[in-house]
Structure 1
Amino acid sequence: MDAVQFAAHGDREVVEYGPSPEPTLGSDDVLLDVRAGALNHLDVWTRRGLPGIDLDFPHVPGSDAAGVVVAVGDAVERFGPGDRVAVTAGRSCGACEFCRDGEPTLCVNYEILGEHCPGVHAERTAVPADALVPVPEGVDWTTAGAAPLVFGTAWRMLHTRGEIDAGETVLVLGASGGVGHAAVQIADHAGCAVIATASSDEKRATARRLGADLAIDYEARDFADAVRAETGQRGVDVVVDHVGAATWRQSLRSLANGGRLLTCGATTGPTPETNVNRIFGNQLSVHGSTMAGPGEFDDVLELVWDGTFEVLIRAVLPMSETARGHELLEEREGFGKVVVVPDSEYEGGADE
C-alpha cells in the first residue's frame, strides 16, 4: 500500500508518498480503508520536529481520517466490516490517576496519532477501536475526515474549559483556520456574541456568515484596540487564542476584568512575553486545552453530522500532494480545512 511519510524532520520537501508496510492489526484495533484525511498545523510541527518527541522513521503523519472498516481485532465488539467511521486521534493509557478519575485527556501517557506514534494518512491504517466514532450514512467523506480534531478541540476549549454562557462575548483569533472556524460556530451556537479576526475581506465575510457578529482585520489595526473600541472599552469575556507568541499580549489586553484566555496551540511560537501585572491585576484566567474526550466528541460531532456546524474545505488534494497541503497551511491560503485523499481514491473524488 501507499502512505504519506517522511524519513527525517525538515521542510516540505521531506514529505513523500509511496510504498509503506501493511498495518498490523492488534486485538483491540480496527483496520480502516481510508477514504479521506485532513491536515492540521500539528502535521506541520511534527514534520519540523517537536521537542521531546522521538519518532521512528519513516514516520506516517496524520491525525484526521475517515473510511470504511475492513477488519477488526479479536477483542473489538463495537465495529464490524463495512462500518463507516472517523478517527478521533487521542490515545490514553487507561491506568494513570487521571484516566482512573475519568479525565483521559489529562493522561500522563497521552498520545496523539500522527504526533507521538504513526498516523493515518495512508491507504489503510490500523487504529484502536476506542479512537473511532461512527459516521452516519449521508455524511460525505471530506466532512467526516476533516471534522473530528478541530471541532472536538474547539468544543472542549469553549464548553469544558471555558464554560461559555449565552450572552458573553467571545473573541476568536484566526477565524479562517480549522479550530478558528469551528470556534466561531460553537460560540455562536451557544448564544454568545462573536468577534473574529481574519486577514482578508473574503475571510472576514466567511467568518460573519458562520456566525461572527464582527470581523476585524488584524493586519490593518491592533485587534486589542479594535476590540476595546467596539465594546466601549470593556473588553471581551473570552479569547480563543491558538496563535501564540504573535498575539498573546493583545489577547490579554482584549479581555474584560475577570475574563478567560483559552489556548490550544501556538502556531507562531510557544514562548510569548506575558504581562503578569495585567493577569493578576485584572483577575484574568488562562486555560490550556487539548483535543476532546469521548463524550465531548459525541456532543460536537452530532452537530456536525446533522449539519448544524459546517466544515469548510479550502482544498481537496491527492495524498501525493500533501506537501502542497502543508504549504497552504503555512502560507495561510484559503479558509477551512485541507483534505487529502489516497491517490487510489482521488480520481473518483472523496465523496463517492
Structure 2
Amino acid sequence: MKALQLTALHQPLALVDVPDLTPSAGEVVVAIKAAALNHRDVFVQQGLYPGIALPVIPGSDGAGVVSAVGEGVDPAWIGREVVINPALNWGPNPAYYTPQFKILGMPDNGTFAEKVVIPVTNVYPKPAHLSFEQAAAVPLAGLTAWRALITRAALSTTSQTPDRVLITGVGGGVALFALQFAVAAGAEVWVTSGSPEKLDKAMALGAKGGVSYKEPDWHKTLLSKATQGNAALAKAGYFDVIIDSAAGPDFARLTQVAAPGGRIAFFGGTTGKITDVQPSVVFFKHLSIFGSTMGSDAEFAAMLQFVSTHQLVPVIDSVRPLAEGQAAYDRMNAGQQLGKLVLTVE
C-alpha cells in the first residue's frame, strides 16, 4: 500500500510502498478516505516532540471504511464508514490517562496512508451529515477542544444563563472547534487572533466580537468592547470561561479579563513559559486554571454526539491528495491555514 513516511528529521515526507496490513485480535483495518494534519505532525518532523522513533507514517486524524477485522471483532464492522479516535489507551480514569497512553501517528504508524490498523474500540460511526474529508478533520482537535471547554472549564451545554467565553488564537483547529462548540451551546463568545481574516471568519461562525492580540493593550480593547465601555464591569473582569493555546507572558492578561470565579483552560504553550501572573489576582477572583490534553473515550463519544446533534461542520482550509502531503505541512508550518488541512486517499 502507499503511505507518506518520515524517515529522517527535518526532511520532506516521501510517498512510499509499505507492506499491507493484517489486523491482530481486537483490531480492524480502516481503508482511509481522508486524513487531516495537526501541529503535532509538524512538530514531529521538526524533532520537537518526545519519543520520536523513525521511520514512521504520521497522521492522527482519519476517516474511512472498515476493510478487515481481527479475531474477536464482529464481522458486521466490515464496510462501515467510521471516524478514528487517535487517543490510544486512555484507560478507566476520566481524570487522567494511563502510562500506556499514546497518540496515533507517533510512535504507532498513523493515517497518512491507504490503510491503518487500529483497535476496534477506537473506531466510531462517522457522523452521517459529514463527508469523509469533514469527518477526518474532527478527531484530535475536536476531542482536545471538547475536554478543555466542556470537561475542564465546565461550560454548560444546557445552561439557561449563558457563559461568556474567550477563545484565543482562533485560527487554529482546536480553537475553531472550541468556538463552534461554545456557540452551539449558547455561549457568548469573543476571540483573539493576529489575522483580520481569521477574526472575520470567527464572526461568521457566531463569535460576538474579537480583537487582534498584536495590539499592545489588546486585553483593554477587548474588555472595552465586550462590556460596551462599562468601566466597573471591565475592571472586575468579564469572561467566565477562557480557552487558550499560547500560554507565555500574555497569560497574565487572561487572569485580568477573567470574571470572578472564572475558569481558564489551556492545552498548549506556543509562546513559552507563563510569567508575570499575580497570585493575588488569582486568589481574590477565585479563578480556576486547568491544563488539558486530548481526552477519554467517553469524551470522544460525547463530542461526536454533540457534532451530530448540532450538525456542526468543521472549518477546512484546503484539501490535497495524499501525494501532496508535504505541501500541507509547509502551509501549516508557515501559519497560513485557516481551519484544517486535509489529505484525500484515492
Q: TM-score, normalised by structure 1?
A: 0.87
**1:130-153 deviation per Cα after TM superposition (whole angstroms, max 9, x unaligned):** 111111445311111111221222
Alpha-carbon distance in structure 2 between the residues aligned to 1:189 and 1:93: 27
* d(CA) in 1 for partners of 2:153, 2:72: 37
- Which string of whole-angstrom CA distances, capped at 9 and with x for unpartnered residues, describes residues 212-264 of structure 1? 11121222453322233233312312211012326423323322233221011
Aligned to 1:19: 17
Aligned with residue 41 of structure 2, among 40, 43, 48: 43
| Contact kept in structure 2, 1:3 and 1:123, CA below 8 Å | yes
Equivalent residue number for residue 4 of structure 2:
4
- Equivalences for 1:1-352 in 2 at 5 Å? 1-10=1-10, 13-50=11-48, 52-55=50-53, 57-77=54-74, 80-92=77-89, 94=91, 99=92, 102-103=93-94, 105-165=96-156, 166=159, 167-229=162-224, 230-231=226-227, 232-233=233-234, 234-245=237-248, 247-269=250-272, 271-277=273-279, 278-305=281-308, 308-342=311-345, 345=346
**Kindly tell me: are residues 252 and 304 of structure 1, through their superposed partners in 2, closer, same or farther at Cα, counting changes over 3 Å?**
same
Structure 1 Cα separation of the partners of residues 284 and 333 of structure 2: 36
d(CA) in 2 for partners of 1:61, 1:138: 27
2:44, 2:52 within 8 Å by CA — same for their partners in 1?
Answer: no
CA-to-partner distance for each residue in 1:273-326, whole Å, 9 max, x for gaps?
A: 242523334332211112232222222213334553221110101222222212
| Segment drifting more, 171-180 vs 129-138 | 129-138
Alignment-mate amino acid for residue 58 of structure 1? P
Unaligned segments of structure 1, at least 5 residues? 346-352
Work out the CA distance in 1 between the residues paired with 2:187 and 2:337: 26
Structure 1 ranges of 4+ moved more than 4 A: none
| Bigger Cα displacement from structure 2, 241-250 vs 108-117 | 241-250
- Tell me the amino acid that sits aligned with residue 33 of structure 2: R
Structure 1 vs Structure 2: percent identity of aligned residues?
A: 32
Structure 2 unaligned spans of 5+: 228-232
Q: Describe the superposition over 1:103-124 as per-residue Cα deviations: whole angstroms up to 9, x where unpaired.
A: 2852222111013422121111
The SS at the match of 2:241 is strand
State whether residues 42 and 115 of structure 1, in contact with CA within 8 Å, keep that contact through their aligned partners in structure 2: no
CA contact (8 A) 1:315 1:339 kept: yes
Equivalents in 2 of 1:63, 1:179: separation in Å?
A: 14
Amino acid in the other structure paired with 2:168: L
Is the CA contact (8 Å cut-off) linking 2:69 and 2:75 kept in structure 1? Answer: no
In structure 1, C-alpha distance between the alignment counterparts of 2:52 and 2:195, rounded to whole Å: 38
Say if 1:30 and 1:129, in contact at 8 Å, map to a contact too.
yes
Indicate how the Cα distance of structure 1 residues 36 and 105 shifts in structure 2: closer, same or farther if over 3 A, else same: farther
When structure 1 is superposed on structure 2, of 162-171 and 177-186 the one drifting more is 162-171
Give deviations 1:186-214, integer Å, cap 9, x for gaps. 11222221101123332212101212111
> How far off is 1:20 after superposition?
2.1
Q: Conserved in 2, the CA contact under 8 Å of 1:29 and 1:127?
A: yes
| TM value normalised by structure 2 | 0.89
1:241/1:247 contact within 8 Å kept: no
AA of the residue aligned to 2:223: R
Contact persistence 2:32–2:113 (CA under 8 A): yes
